Amino acid sequence: MASERLDKIIANYTSITRTQARKLIVGGKVTVDGVVMKKPEAKTDPECAVIKTEDTTINAKRHLYIMMNKPAGVISASRDNNATTVIDLLPEHLQRKNLFPAGRLDKDTEGLLIITDDGEFAHRLLSPKSKVNKVYIARVDNTLTENEIKLFADGVQLKDGTKCLPAKMTLLSDTVAEVQIYEGKYHQIKRMFAAVGFQVLSLQRIRIGQLSLPDNLSKSQVRELKIEEIELLCENDR
Q: Where are the domains of the chain?
A: 4-57, 65-128+211-233, 133-208
CB atoms within 10 A of CB 14: 23
Task: Tell which CATH classification among 3.40.718.10, 3.20.20.70, 3.10.290.10, 3.40.50.1000 matches the domain 4-57.
Answer: 3.10.290.10
Query: Buried (b) or exposed (e) across 156-194, using 16+ Cβ within 10 A?
Result: bebeeeeebeebbbeeeeeeebebbbbeeeeebbbbbbb
Active-site residue identified among 45, 55, 80, 106: 106
- 108 has catalytic annotation: no
Does pTM top 0.75 for this prediction?
yes
Kindly indicate whether the domain formed by 65-128+211-233 is annotated with CATH number 3.40.50.720: no
Q: What is the pLDDT of residue 121?
A: 93
Please enumerate in sequence order all residues whose Cβ is within 8 A of that of 23, keeping only pairs 6 or more positions apart, or say none.
none
- pLDDT tens digits for 196-234? 999 999 999 999 999 999 999 999 999 999 989 998 887
Q: What letter would DSSP give residue 71?
A: P
- pLDDT tens digits for 140-180? 999 999 999 999 999 999 999 999 999 999 999 999 999 99
Asked whether this chain's domains 4-57 and 65-128+211-233 adopt the same fold, the reply is no
User: Which class does domain 133-208 fall in?
Assistant: alpha beta
Q: What is the pLDDT of residue 54?
A: 82
**CA gap 26, 135 in Å, rounded:** 50
